A and B are shown apart, each in its own frame.
Chain A
Amino acid sequence: MLTRRFLSQFDFFLFLAAVILALIGAMGIYNASAEAANYSLFVRHLQWIGLGIVVCLVVTLVDYHILTDHAFLLYGLTTLLLLGILFFGKEINGSKSWFTLGDISFQPSEIAKVAVILVLARYLSEINASYLEHRHLFALGGLTLLPMFLITLQGDLGTALMYLPILLGVVMVAGLRMRFLIGTIIIALCVTPFGWFLLKDYQKERILVTLDPGRDPQGIGYQSRQSQIAIGSGGLFGKGLGQGLQSQLGFVPEIHTDFIFAILAEEIGFVGSIFMLMLYLLVLMRLIRIAENARDRVGILLITGVTSLIFFQVAINVSMTVGIVPPIGIPLPLLSYGGSSTITTFAALGLALNVHQRRFVYSPASGPDPRSLRSHLPASLSKHYNS
């Protein structure tokens, strides 16, 4: 029975942790809407969460090997989507990164992350060396930079930058020689001054303000400042649910989306913030655990991509909310309002659940999976023969 086999292998722990985080996020969105008493965002977000859960389960159901087999096709399609958006997209908040269908807006740059995770894992799974060579790095870099470039063209630098952690994560795990790592850092340092001139003025300003918060308390630093005020004034136990006036009254910008953590921290305080971060940490630890038990190389690499994506987004979003890094406009996975981000995160978690689901070569409930034999045994064996 598909259902019984599915349930017996399903990682409820990871799934429930993610759903709880999503519901905490929904609560934050509800409270952030309290002042305006307009709960349409909340209702819509609940729908997104529902849809996300469905997507998550669907992704879990389809064997991840089918997905990795068609990774290049999926990658190609999303790249076309990103290209198309430059011509047919809708501009929201200065970024031309939205497709609209009726009253539903959709950001392909979010979903493309899953495609990139798939394509990187697929590419790396076929390299059976301890360390990566130049050509591998160039190929991987190219595969990542193409969508990044297209997204930057859309004017959404923040989202584009979130592709780098995925690349970094999988490359590190796949085996990056120390000299490449050092070389990359040196090149990055050399390029940075030139990159500075490529940045837009407001981006430069954001960086400067983060380095020196007193630089412009009313201007660019305003967002960051207000967010810190909201969080700080929450204190140890918070002001109580629905009492986050600082956030509700509009002092903290983007409160439903990028700064959702601020209103939650204001209302549930330090203790509540730690609880939320611990949930994220549990999710991440659980992902690592799934990687450890993964059946094959591509599974491990998929999890690595998913883990990197979630970890870096959480780390950077929370850092930006508490004022460690400049506000660069990336959502907090699972907590922030937004369909694209919610569905992408659930889809990514679906990949992880998928890997967990198929962690045994011979599934005890259903017998051997011929597909896994076909695609991976030879690869592993060939390495075995070579050594």
Chain B
Amino acid sequence: MPVYQDNRELLQRVRWLQVVFILVFIGLFAKLWSLTVLDFELYKNLAERNRVRTIPELAPRGLIYDREGRVLVDNVYAFNLLVFRDEIQNVSETLDFLVDGLGLDRETTQERLKETGIYDIYRAIILKENLTLEETTYLLARQAEHPELGILKQPRRIYRYGSLAAHVAGYIGEVSREQLQQSEFKKNRAGDIVGQFGVERTYDEGLTGKDGRRRVLVDSRGKFLQDLDHSEPIRGEGLTLTIDLDLQAEAESQLGDAPGAVIAFDPQTGEILVMASRPAFDPNQFALRITHKEWEQLLNNPDHPLQNRTIQSTFSPGSTFKIIMALAGLEKGIIDSETSVYCGGSVDLYGNRFHCWKAGGHGQVTLREAIQHSCNVYFYLLGQKLGIQDIASFSRRLGLGDSMGIDLLGEVMGLVPSEEWKREVRGEPWYAGETISLAIGQGPLLVTPAQLARAVGIVATGKAPRLHLIKTESPQPPEQSLFPTPHFSPENLEMVRDALWSAVNEGGTGRAAQVTGFDVAGKTGTAQTISLETREKLSDEEAEQFEPNAWFVGFAPRDDPEIVVAVILQRGGSGGSGAAPVAREVLKVYFDKHQKAQPDGMELASKIKSKPRL
């Protein structure tokens, strides 16, 4: 049929099309093979990453309790704004959104994103803590457009009583870049919140829980679809302090805002009952990511609120040093209970006149009376006989001038002067006249309130347990230094204790520390911060800054002591009128709890609990 022949050429070309089809399809088969078989693993992983989001679940830190189980440091849950940096499409759009709606500072936020650039990209970064309801609503409403942002309920540290026991509890903060280089923080990753101060720092490892994580399926807009798996965060171990919040609160309210410190501990066990340092800071400021400005304010405050004065500040012990002098004199056999000295208000030694605080003098005084009335002349003469070497060595035996191994960071050692020290540091010989000043706790001798308290504790019990902040059933802190318990004759110790008792209970300088029914023994101190000559050159106003520091150190009850207390009020005037009443109030609270209200001591405890100082 001609009709068909006519189209042969056409059909020939049509058949060629089949070749084209087959070649193209082979090409497609090959590409499909390469996608689904050869690169299967690659695409499988990419697919996983596409829709599985890992959401960190921060573990709450362990709670911190006082010795009676009252919660001092707690956690609350707050809504935090997180950014999943791997989801950010356009940084400036994200920033615009946050600046508009949450009032975040653009520069700061950008800086934070830049800073956190060193973290693993899949790690969510907290951009704002403690979102308000309004902010949460704003974010949720536009969630679909911003899959890179998430709102997570996360635990936040709360210090229930604000600044109460702030220096003991300490604070937390993001681990710094410098810290990451140190072995202490080798377990941490950038961005971790770690203890930075106080027991939060010392016991960080135990307090830190184990973070959990939740893996969830999300769609391409970041919308939550379903849970894949979940590892629960594990809360850090709790920590029971030796601190008694009743006493701590009393001590801090007695100190008020004036610079000063109180430390009290159980001389039998070394458990610290009170560690108060004022002025203080509010650790909650740090829990909420302290701003640069707030930090500057704390640092530049002339009263150094960040400083824990009980262990980080040193002072001249003043007349409280007479306790150590007395013990040294007795132990060296230079004096005994009968040795008496005539005090006529001053004594001339090495060409200088050394004054007693009482212008008319104390007359004939024995050791007991010299301590009771804090007679300087007695101790000038004792110092002269003891000499610098013995004074220094007894000071050291009682733990001055050395670190105490308290389980807090930043303890300072203080200074016990000696002939060698003077030569090496000042390049001058030790002058005999300096020994005389040293005998009443003036001069280059520097102690921390904690050191002085422990020295008094040794006098009170003959024991020198290591001072610490954690109840023993909790993990033992690492031993930092073992202080060898010095041995003194029990008679000599008893003699000093008796004298200290009389200073409080028999109309001595410490009488303001008397607590009825509680045999308080103690010694006042009024430590000058400048020499008398300098004082005379100053106007009254200028001199105000150089008011003497008021001291009281003591223990109670006299027989079988349970509590040792040291109080210092900077620029607090005389020890008898400034510091002794503070000690009394603290001891009174202790006495009311343990003796008077026995066996039910919780009555007062509950009173404090119901009035948290937030």
Residues of A within 8 A of B (CB): 35, 128, 130, 169, 172-175, 218, 226, 228-236, 245-246, 249-251, 265, 269-270, 273-274, 277, 280-281, 284-285, 288, 291-292, 294-297, 300-301, 303-304, 307-308, 311, 315, 318-319, 322-324, 361, 376-377, 380-381, 383-384
* Contact of A249 with B225 at beta-carbon distance under 8 Å, contacts A292-B11, A300-B7 already known: yes
Residues of A within 8 A of B540 (CB): none
Contacting pair A300 B11 (CB below 8 A): yes
Contacting pair A270 B25 (CB below 8 A): no
Q: Is B29 an interface residue (CB 8 A)?
A: yes
Measured CB to CB, the closest approach of chain A to B225, in angstroms, equals 7
Contacting pair A232 B6 (CB below 8 A): no
Contacting pair A361 B3 (CB below 8 A): yes
Contacting pair B40 A233 (CB below 8 A): yes
Q: Which of B1-35 contact A (CB under 8 A)?
A: 1-3, 6-7, 9-11, 13-15, 17-18, 20-22, 24-25, 27-29, 31-33, 35
Measured CB to CB, the closest approach of chain A to B494, in angstroms, equals 83
Contacting pair A295 B3 (CB below 8 A): yes
Q: Is B220 an interface residue (CB 8 A)?
A: yes
Give me 12 A-to-B residue pairs in the complex whose CB atoms sit less than 8 angstroms apart, sorted by A's number.
A175-B9, A226-B50, A232-B39, A251-B51, A251-B219, A284-B21, A285-B21, A288-B18, A291-B14, A311-B21, A315-B25, A383-B6
Contacting pair A232 B40 (CB below 8 A): yes
Bound complex: CA of A270 vs CA of B40, how far in Å? 11
Residues of A within 8 A of B230 (CB): none
Contacting pair A228 B7 (CB below 8 A): no
Measured CB to CB, the closest approach of chain A to B115, in angstroms, equals 23
Contacting pair B46 A233 (CB below 8 A): yes
Contacting pair B47 A229 (CB below 8 A): yes
Bound complex: CA of A72 vs CA of B17, how far in Å? 27
Residues of A within 8 A of B39 (CB): 232
Contacting pair B219 A270 (CB below 8 A): no
Contacting pair B14 A377 (CB below 8 A): no
Return the chain B residue nearest A284 by Cβ.
B21
Measured CB to CB, the closest approach of chain B to A328, in angstroms, equals 16
Contacting pair B28 A322 (CB below 8 A): yes
Contacting pair B220 A235 (CB below 8 A): no
Contacting pair B35 A322 (CB below 8 A): yes
Contacting pair A229 B3 (CB below 8 A): no
Residues of B within 8 A of A175 (CB): 9-10, 13
Name A228's contact: one of B13, B15, B43, B225 (CB within 8 Å): B43
Residues of B within 8 A of A226 (CB): 50
Return the chain A residue nearest B88 by Cβ.
A218
Q: Is B42 an interface residue (CB 8 A)?
A: yes
- Chain B 537-554, CB-CB to A under 8 Å as 1, else 0, gives 000000000000000000
Contacting pair A270 B46 (CB below 8 A): no
* Contact of A229 with B18 at beta-carbon distance under 8 Å, contacts A270-B33, A324-B31, A384-B6 already known: no
Bound complex: CA of A269 vs CA of B36, how far in Å? 7
Bound complex: CA of A140 vs CA of B443, how far in Å? 113
Bound complex: CA of A277 vs CA of B26, how far in Å? 10
Q: Is B423 an interface residue (CB 8 A)?
A: no
Contacting pair A250 B17 (CB below 8 A): no
* Contact of A281 with B13 at beta-carbon distance under 8 Å, contacts A381-B2, A383-B6 already known: no
Contacting pair B22 A172 (CB below 8 A): no
Q: Is B44 an interface residue (CB 8 A)?
A: yes
Contacting pair A318 B3 (CB below 8 A): no
Q: Is B221 an interface residue (CB 8 A)?
A: yes
What 16 additional pairs, Cβ within 8 angstroms, besides A232-B35, A324-B31?
A231-B32, A232-B39, A250-B219, A270-B36, A273-B36, A274-B29, A281-B21, A281-B22, A284-B18, A297-B10, A300-B14, A304-B14, A315-B24, A361-B3, A376-B3, A381-B2
Bound complex: CA of A229 vs CA of B11, how far in Å? 42
Bound complex: CA of A381 vs CA of B40, how far in Å? 60
Measured CB to CB, the closest approach of chain A to B94, in angstroms, equals 14
Bound complex: CA of A273 vs CA of B30, how far in Å? 12
Return the chain B residue nearest A299 by Cβ.
B7
Contacting pair A315 B28 (CB below 8 A): yes
Contacting pair B220 A250 (CB below 8 A): yes
- Chain B 217-252, CB-CB to A under 8 Å as 1, else 0, gives 111110001000000000000000000000000000
Dominant secondary structure at the A interface: helix
* Contact of A231 with B43 at beta-carbon distance under 8 Å, contacts A246-B51, A288-B17 already known: yes
Which 7 interchain pairs have the tightest Cβ spacing?
A232-B43, A233-B47, A250-B220, A270-B36, A249-B219, A232-B35, A233-B43
Q: Is B141 an interface residue (CB 8 A)?
A: no
Measured CB to CB, the closest approach of chain A to B271, in angstroms, equals 59
Measured CB to CB, the closest approach of chain A to B53, in angstroms, equals 12
Interface-central residue, B36, B47, B89, by most chain A CB under 10 Å = B36
Contacting pair A274 B11 (CB below 8 A): no
Bound complex: CA of A84 vs CA of B499, how far in Å? 116
Contacting pair B32 A273 (CB below 8 A): yes
Bound complex: CA of A326 vs CA of B42, how far in Å? 21
Residues of A within 8 A of B27 (CB): 324
Return the chain A residue nearest B18 by Cβ.
A288
Contacting pair A249 B11 (CB below 8 A): no
Bound complex: CA of A376 vs CA of B4, how far in Å? 11
Contacting pair A231 B11 (CB below 8 A): no
Measured CB to CB, the closest approach of chain B to A210, in angstroms, equals 13
Measured CB to CB, the closest approach of chain B to A71, in angstroms, equals 18
Measured CB to CB, the closest approach of chain A to B275, in angstroms, equals 55
Contacting pair B44 A296 (CB below 8 A): no
Residues of A within 8 A of B46 (CB): 229, 232-233
Measured CB to CB, the closest approach of chain A to B223, in angstroms, equals 9
Q: Is B359 an interface residue (CB 8 A)?
A: no
Bound complex: CA of A211 vs CA of B479, how far in Å? 67
Q: Is B37 an interface residue (CB 8 A)?
A: yes
Interface-central residue, B10, B31, B219, B221, by most chain A CB under 10 Å = B10
Contacting pair A173 B32 (CB below 8 A): no
Bound complex: CA of A276 vs CA of B35, how far in Å? 16
Measured CB to CB, the closest approach of chain A to B379, in angstroms, equals 81
Residues of B within 8 A of A291 (CB): 11, 14
Interface-central residue, B17, B50, B89, by most chain A CB under 10 Å = B17
Bound complex: CA of A300 vs CA of B17, how far in Å? 13
Name B28's contact: one of A173, A303, A319, A383 (CB within 8 Å): A319
Return the chain B residue nearest A36 by Cβ.
B219
Contacting pair B29 A173 (CB below 8 A): no
Bound complex: CA of A230 vs CA of B51, how far in Å? 12
Residues of B within 8 A of A294 (CB): 7
Residues of A within 8 A of B14 (CB): 173, 288, 291-292, 300, 303-304
Return the chain A residue nearest B47 by Cβ.
A233
Bound complex: CA of A322 vs CA of B38, how far in Å? 14
Residues of A within 8 A of B43 (CB): 228-229, 231-233
Bound complex: CA of A146 vs CA of B40, how far in Å? 45
Name A250's contact: one of B13, B18, B221 (CB within 8 Å): B221
Residues of A within 8 A of B17 (CB): 169, 173, 288, 304, 307-308, 311
Contacting pair B29 A228 (CB below 8 A): no
Contacting pair A232 B42 (CB below 8 A): yes
Residues of A within 8 A of B47 (CB): 229-230, 232-233, 245-246
Name A322's contact: one of B11, B13, B32, B40 (CB within 8 Å): B32
Interface-central residue, A218, A233, A281, A284, by most chain B CB under 10 Å = A233
Residues of A within 8 A of B15 (CB): 288, 292
Residues of A within 8 A of B32 (CB): 231, 265, 270, 273-274, 277, 322
Bound complex: CA of A130 vs CA of B14, how far in Å? 14
Return the chain B residue nearest A173 by Cβ.
B13
Residues of A within 8 A of B20 (CB): 311
Residues of A within 8 A of B31 (CB): 319, 322-324
Bound complex: CA of A381 vs CA of B2, how far in Å? 8
Return the chain B residue nearest A237 by Cβ.
B36
Bound complex: CA of A249 vs CA of B14, how far in Å? 43
Return the chain A residue nearest B38 by Cβ.
A232
Return the chain A residue nearest B220 by Cβ.
A250
Bound complex: CA of A59 vs CA of B36, how far in Å? 40
Contacting pair B51 A249 (CB below 8 A): yes
Measured CB to CB, the closest approach of chain A to B7, in angstroms, equals 6
Residues of B within 8 A of A280 (CB): 25
